[in-house]
Structure 1
Amino acid sequence: MSQLPHQPPGRSPRYPPHDYAAFPKDLRGKRILLCTESFGPVNGVSRTTLMLVDHLRANGALVAVVAPLNHTKHDTFAPSAPEGTRPEDTLVEVRLQGYPLPFNPELSVVYPVRVSTLFTRTFGPDNPPDLIYLASPASLGFQVMLQVRQQPRDKRVPVMCNFQTDLAGYCSILFPHPFNTIAVFAFAMVQSYLFRHDSVKTLFYPSRFVRRYLEGQGVQSDKMELLRRGVNTDLFCPGRRSEKLRREIAPDGEMILICVSRIAGEKGFDFLAEAAKELDARGVRFKLYIVGGNRNQDVEREVHAMFDPLLDEGKVIFAGFKTGEDLATAYASGDIFLHCSVTETFGLVVLESMASGVPVVARDEGGPSDIIDDGRCGHLVPPEDLGGFVDRVAALAKDPARRAAMAREARSMACEATWEKINNQVAWRMADTIEERRRELAQVGKARQHAPLFESASQLAPLYGWVMMNDAAREVITSRIVDAKLAGGLGIVVTFWLFTGLYLAFTEVVLWTKGRFPRLSRSRRGSAAGLV
C-alpha cells in the first residue's frame, strides 16, 4: 500500500520535534537567501516555492529571492507582502541572466555568478544571510553549493536544499543512447559531491523514490528529511465543477479524461497518446482534455502530432496554459485524471486533482506512488503496462458509482495535506539550522582563544595535529591541499556544464532539423510507429 499524504512527515534525527501548527518565532527577522531555478507559472516546483516565500514573509522572515530571468511573455507570479511592512524590506528579488532551455524556455541555465555578489545585491555587503535555501538546485544551486563549501568554516552560511526535480531522469529520456547513460552518471557524480558536504545541513525529499536515489549517491541519512506537498483545498475543490465547460468539451456527454502537464517529451505523452488510441479502439466514448503548454512551438507541435488522428477527430483537445480559478475549474470538470509521467519526484498535479474530487489513474513510478492509495482514490499501474492502464480507465469510465466513491476518498485524503503545516515544517528546520550555526560559531570562538593556529590549520588539513613540521612546510602543504580540493570540485562541476552544453547543442540541432525538414521528421515517426 502507498504511503498516504496525511501520514506524519519524516523528521531528521538531528533536530528536536516541533509543533508544525505554529510558526517558529525565532525565524522572524532572520535573513534567508532563497535561490530557485524557476520562479513563475512554470510547474509545480514554482508554485511550491512561491507559497513557501509568501508564508515566510507573512510571518516576518526576510526572504530575498534569486532566480533566472523569465524569458517568456507569460505573467509571473507576484509574491505577496506581509501587512504593515515596506515593500523594500521584504520583496527583494534578483533576476539572473541565463540560456533558456530549447525544449522548455521557461527554464534557463544560469550563467556563472559569484555568491558574494548575490549577498551584496540582496542584503548588502555587510549583512550576509543567516541561511541559504536552494529550491530544486541545478545550474544556480550547484554554483552556490560549490562556492559555499570553499569558504572558511566561520564564514560558511548553512545551506538547505529541496530536491524536487529528477534531473537524471530527464537526461535518461531526452538524450539518445549511450549519451543518456553518461549524462545520468555525470549528474549523479555532481549531486553526490555537493550534497554530501557538511555545508548542506538538510536535504528535503518528497517521496521514497527520491530517497532511494539520494541514498544511492551516498547522501547521509541524518540530513535527509521527508517533505510532502500541500494543496490549496479552497481553490482546488469539487465545487468548481462547471457544467458549461463540460458541455463545451463534451457536447454529446462523452467521458472527460483530463491531463494537466507541461507539454514536453519527458512528461510521458507518448504513453498517453497510445492509451488514448487504445481506448478509442475499444469503443470508449471520451474527450481527452490536456491542460498545459510549452513556449517552444516546435515541441508543442511534436507532442500534438503524437495524437493524430484523434486530434483531427476532436477527441483530443489541447487547452493551453491555465492558472488560478481557470485551472481549478478544469480539474474539477473532469471525470478521470490521467497521469503518465514517470519523472515526477512528487506530482503536485495528482494531489490537486484529488482535491478537486477527481480520481486518478497513474503509472506507478516516482512521487505519485506515495500519493495514491491504489483502489481507494484511484489506480496505480506498472509503468510499462499500457494494457493495464487502459483497462483501469475503461473500467472506471463504465462505473459511475465507483468513480463517485473514489472522488470522495480522493478529496478526503487531499484535505489532510495542508500547506501551512508543510511550510511550517520548513520554517522550523530553518530556525533549527540557524540556531545550530550560532552554537557552532560560539564554539569556534572559544577554540580560537586557546589555539588559534591549530584550529585554523585543522580546518584545512587534519594532518597538522599528527605531523610536526615548520611553518613554511605547513603553508606549502595547506596551499596544495586547498588547491587539490578546489580543482577536484571544479572538475566535477565542469563535467556537469559539459553535458549541459552538449544537451543544449543536441536539442537545438534536433529542433532545427525538424523545423527545416518536417516531412522527413514525420516519415521517421511513421516508420518508427510501424515497427512497434
Structure 2
Amino acid sequence: MKIALFTDTFAPEVNGVAHTLKRWVDFLESHQVAYRVFAPETRTEDVSTNCIYHFKSFRFFLYPECRLAIPNTMTIREQLEQFQPTLIHIATPFNIGLCGLHYAKKMNIPFVASYHTHFDQYLHYYNLDFLSPWLWRYMHWFHRSAEKIFVPSEETLNELQQRGFTNLHIWSRGVDCTIFYPKEDNRSFRQAYGITEPYIVLYVGRLAREKNVDLLIQLAKQMPSSIRWMIVGDGPLKAQLQQIAPSNVTFTGFLRGDALAEAYAAADVFAFPSPTETFGNVVLESFASGTPVVCANRGGVTTIVKEQQTGLLCPPHDLNTWRAAIEYMLKNEEKRKQMGKAAREYAETKDWNSIFTELLSHYEQVMHKRESRYA
C-alpha cells in the first residue's frame, strides 16, 4: 500500500483537521505504510522532505487554518510518477485538493475524500449566504468520483445524505487519554494566571465569528464575578473580543501539550458555543480531562455530548439558557463530578489506534475493489 495525501492544512497549523492528519501520518509511519503528503507551506522555515512536500501559500479568508497554495504541478506529477501511489486521499477541496483530484483521474488512481468543515455555514457569518448554492454544486462535483467520503460524525453524515451525497462513511476522532486526564490539584495553573475566583469556565478554539465566542463575553458581563473565564486560542476576532471583555476574562493565546492539558483539567466547566462543528475535537479533550461541557445544541458535538450525563446542550444563541446551564453546573458540584467521570469514561473508548486501523481497512477495501474491477 502506498498512500498520497493531499491537504490544504497540515502540521504545524493549529486546528482539528491538521492535528488529525498529522496523527494519521504518524500512524502510517509506525505501521510502515509508505506515504507522501502534499501540503501548503505554513511558515518560511518549512522544508520539503522525502515524504512531505510543501508549496507556497496564502491564508483563505473564510478559514485561515486552510491555505490556498500555489502548487508546483510539475513537482507533484514527478513525485507521483516516482512514488506510484496505490491510493490518493484528498482531505480538503481547495488548491492542493484539486491537484490531487486532477492526478487521481489523470493517472487512474483510486481516491477517497474526507469532509471536515461545514463551509456553507461559515458563509452566513460573513454575509455570503448567496454563495451557498454554488458552494454545494462545487462540493458535489468535487466529491462525486470518490470511492468513499469520510465524515467525522453521524450528524455530518446525515447532513450530507440529505444533500444527495453517497458513499459516506464515518471516520471518527480519538483523544490521547495519557495527555489529557483529570488532575485534582490545579494550584499551579491558578498561580500562573493569577486566578483567585472560585470557578473557572474554559473555552478552547479559534476566535472567529463562526465559533460564536462573543456569546461567552456577553455571559462574562452578566454573570457573577466569581467566575474566571479562560479563552484559549487565537484568531481574527481576538483583538475585538479583548477590547469588550470584562476584567475576569483571560486570553491565553494558543496553548499546546502539557499547558493545554493543564487548562482543561483546571476548569470546572468547558463552554463551547460553536454551532458549526462537524465533530468537536476540543470537546473530546475536555471529556478526557474529566471536565463536563456546555455546548451548542447543533453540529457534530450533539453526537458526542449526552444531555445530563456528560454535559448540557443549549440553543446556540440563547443567552438566558446558557447562563442557566453554566450556573447549574457550577452550583451542583456532585452532579458536575458525576458528569466529569462519565465524560472521562466515554473518552477512554475513543482510541486513535482502533480508529486509524478501521480507516486503513477502508483503504484496503477500495484497493481490492479496484483490483477486482480490472481482474
Instruction: Verify same fold: TM over 0.5.
Output: yes
Of 303, 315, 323 in structure 1, the residue corresponding to residue 241 of structure 2 is 303
Of 57, 68, 76 in structure 2, the residue corresponding to residue 109 of structure 1 is 68
Between 1:382-391 and 1:43-52, the stretch displaced more is 382-391
5 Å matches for 1:278-293? 278-279=222-223, 283=224, 285-293=226-234
- Structure 1 or 2, whichever has the larger Rg, is 1
Q: Are the aligned partners of 2:197 and 2:228 in contact in 1 as well (CA < 8 Å)?
A: no
5 Å matches for 1:347-358? 347-358=280-291
- How many residue pairs are counted as aligned between the two chains? 374
Partner residue, 2:115: 163
Q: Could you tell me how far apart the structure 1 residues matched to 2:241 and 2:99 are?
A: 33
Q: Could you tell me how far apart the structure 1 residues matched to 2:313 and 2:21 are?
A: 28
3-state secondary structure, aligned to 2:374: helix
CA drift at 1:240: 7.8
Partner residue, 2:34: 62
5 Å matches for 1:364-379? 364-379=297-312
Amino acid at match of 1:94: Y
Q: Are the aligned partners of 2:39 and 2:55 in contact in 1 as well (CA < 8 Å)?
A: yes
CA drift at 1:278: 2.4
3-state secondary structure, aligned to 2:371: helix
Between 1:266-275 and 1:239-248, the stretch displaced more is 239-248
Identical amino acids, percent of aligned pairs:
27
3-state secondary structure, aligned to 1:239: coil
TM (norm. structure 2) is 0.93
Larger proportion of helix:
1
RMSD (Å), alpha carbons? 2.3
Partner residue, 1:93: 52
Amino acid at match of 2:148: T
Of 85, 89, 93 in structure 2, the residue corresponding to residue 133 of structure 1 is 89
Larger proportion of strand:
2
- What does the per-residue CA deviation read over 1:229-271, in whole Å, with 9 as the maximum and x for residues that have no partner? 1000000001385321124446434210000012222211122
Unaligned stretches of 5+ in structure 1?
1-29, 79-86, 443-532
CA drift at 1:140: 2.1
Partner residue, 1:228: 172
Partner residue, 2:8: 37
Of 146, 157, 176 in structure 2, the residue corresponding to residue 211 of structure 1 is 157
Q: Are the aligned partners of 2:42 and 2:57 in contact in 1 as well (CA < 8 Å)?
A: no
3-state secondary structure, aligned to 2:148: strand
Amino acid at match of 1:165: T
Q: Could you tell me how far apart the structure 2 residues matched to 1:410 and 1:439 are?
A: 44
CA drift at 1:105: 4.8
3-state secondary structure, aligned to 2:278: coil
CA drift at 1:126: 4.5
Larger relative contact order (C-alpha < 8 A, sep ≥ 6)? 1
3-state secondary structure, aligned to 2:183: helix
Amino acid at match of 1:172: H
Q: Are the aligned partners of 2:77 and 2:103 in contact in 1 as well (CA < 8 Å)?
A: no
Q: Could you tell me how far apart the structure 1 residues matched to 2:262 and 2:285 are?
A: 11
Q: Could you tell me how far apart the structure 1 residues matched to 2:33 and 2:214 are?
A: 44
Residues 103 and 201 of structure 1: CA distance in aligned 2, closer, same or farther (over 3 Å): closer
Between 1:382-391 and 1:207-216, the stretch displaced more is 207-216
Q: Could you tell me how far apart the structure 2 residues matched to 1:113 and 1:167 are?
A: 26
Partner residue, 2:365: 432
Q: Are the aligned partners of 1:68 and 1:108 in contact in 2 as well (CA < 8 Å)?
A: yes
Partner residue, 1:237: 181
Unaligned stretches of 5+ in structure 2?
none
Q: Are the aligned partners of 1:64 and 1:92 in contact in 2 as well (CA < 8 Å)?
A: yes
Partner residue, 1:320: 253
Residues 331 and 32 of structure 1: CA distance in aligned 2, closer, same or farther (over 3 Å): same
Q: Could you tell me how far apart the structure 1 residues matched to 2:78 and 2:302 are?
A: 43
